[in-house]
Chain A
Amino acid sequence: MEEQDKLKILKELLLTEEKEYADSIAKKVEELSKIVHQKQKLSHKVDPIIDDKLEEFVEEIPKTLGPTITQTLKEEIKNSQDAVVEALFPIIGKMIKRYIAHEMRLLSDNINKKTKEAFSFKRWFRRTKAKAQGISDGDLAITDYAKPRLIQMFVVEKDSGLLIADYSPLSDGTIDKDMVAGMLTAIKGFVEDAFQGGNQNLETIEYELYTIHIQNFYSYYIAAVISGAYNLMFKEVLEDQIIEFAKNHISRRDLENSELFTNKLKKHFEDEIV
């Protein structure tokens, strides 16, 4: 089989939405039961015993067929494991969609709301600034948009994925941070398992307009959600700030005390970063 084809099959296997998959089974069962019922009508007069058996068979289908089909699917995935690594990067994108799409939407709605609230004041401010500097409104808007911004920070226990602390300069806590922390950890685990032996860590996840920057420490990791252009310069500044924070401000005691850690995180990153 061509590499290209292998990849395609694997992607189809892994990425078929749950719903689509369940629907296709349901359809097959329905078709099957139609056929059986037709036969049943014919056999009605002939043999009542067969009739009973058929009924039972139709009832049993969802119970017996479901797990068998799943088993086949999983086996297929297992057998194509070398292709998994190759196909990993495009898949990660999809996985993240499935995992955090909803949470991220809430986050972005929130930001939009905030931006709207600030809009009229911002425009006035921008005009004044533009006039003073002799550049056009639009140019300023573009630089504004592209500017990387810290949207949310999570401090997560490495193994368990339990949230230790978090800080969100913009949103006001409508997303379920415990869930996002768990899911980021699951994604991290998935990727790092796939590169087993290479001692690779997942450093960034790109998700629609956001970049999730991940920095590992001994027993926890910090994930920072960034909007705008996450460039090398920003990455380095952020990295340094996080290291400085972890080294000089965090002790073992803070890891066991969410409140303490949260306060420190907030205090530190309030004035830092763009």
Chain B
Amino acid sequence: MKLSKKVVLLGHFGVGKTSLFRRFIDNEFSEDYKVTLGVQIKKKVVEMPDGRELSMIIWDTEGHTDIEDTRKSYLLGSNAFIYVFDLTRIDTYKNLSEDLDYLTKNHPKVIIKVIGNKLDLVNEKETLKNLEELNVKADCLTSAKTNKNVQDFFSELATEITA
């Protein structure tokens, strides 16, 4: 029996959605910023700990400052949302809790994960402290550039969406 799940990457402009997508799927990274228009979709087949194969169909969407501007049809029928913010730009996470509320309200069954990206550009200890002060809760801090925590994050997500 074929196992497929839809995962959507969301967040502001330039936070690294496409970079995480490329890092996870093709293990590539580039410093160039090529803005995403619309959406791009790719598949990654993940081998699960129990031996099953999961096709993760990942939608890499264009960034929006306001989550409500995200095209509604892209969000439908998802199994998980990955909300990405940029650890170097507070603008990209100061509305985090409102954005998450919006998503949970409209998509109550969808698993939501929060990633703080560009970990390589900041001091981890200081950042954790700052996030705590602002009451921002990230499930994972990653660097698409160095690959830190990227593969582990997606493996855990794979297990969670198939549980």
Contact = CB atoms under 8 A, between A and B. Distances in A.
B71 A190 contact: yes
B73 interface: yes
B77 A162 contact: yes
Interface string B41-65: 1110000000000010101001111
Interface string A73-100: 1100010000000000000000100010
Interface in A169-213: 176, 178-179, 182-183, 185-186, 188-190, 192-193
B71 A22 contact: no
A130 interface: no
Determine which residue in B37, B39, B62, B65 has the highest number of CB atoms from chain A within 10 A of its CB, and name it. B37
Nearest to A183: B41
A178 B57 contact: yes
A63 B57 CA distance: 29
Interface stretch (A1-9, A31-39, A42-50, A64-72): A64-72
A67 B11 CA distance: 12
A27 to B, nearest CB: 12
Contacts of A138: none
B76 A159 contact: yes
Contact of B77 (A66, A161, A192): A161
Interface residues of B, number: 39
State the majority secondary structure of interface residues on A: helix
A232 to B, nearest CB: 29
A141 interface: no
Contact of B57 (A19, A74, A158, A161): A161
Contacts of B88: 63
Interface residues of A, number: 40
State the majority secondary structure of interface residues on B: loop
Interface in B8-64: 12-14, 31-43, 55, 57, 59, 62-64
B38 A73 contact: no
B52 to A, nearest CB: 14
Determine which residue in B6, B40, B62, B73 has the highest number of CB atoms from chain A within 10 A of its CB, and name it. B73
Given A71-B13, A160-B76, A259-B1, A179 B41 contact: yes
A25 B14 CA distance: 14
Contacts of A22: 32-35
A104 interface: no
B57 A18 contact: no
B65 A71 contact: yes
A28 B76 CA distance: 39
Contacts of B77: 157-162
A185 B65 CA distance: 24
Given A63-B88, A74-B62, A160-B79, 20 more contacts: A21-B35, A22-B32, A22-B33, A22-B34, A22-B35, A67-B13, A67-B14, A70-B13, A78-B69, A160-B77, A161-B6, A161-B41, A178-B43, A179-B42, A189-B71, A189-B72, A189-B76, A190-B73, A193-B73, A257-B1
14 contacts: A18-B35, A19-B34, A63-B88, A67-B14, A162-B57, A179-B43, A179-B57, A186-B59, A189-B73, A190-B71, A190-B73, A193-B73, A257-B1, A258-B2
Interface of B: 1-2, 4-6, 12-14, 31-43, 55, 57, 59, 62-65, 69, 71-74, 76-79, 88-89
Closest 3 CB pairs of A and B: A160-B77, A189-B73, A159-B77
Interface of A: 14, 18-19, 21-22, 25-26, 62-63, 66-67, 70-71, 73-74, 78, 95, 99, 157-163, 176, 178-179, 182-183, 185-186, 188-190, 192-193, 257-259
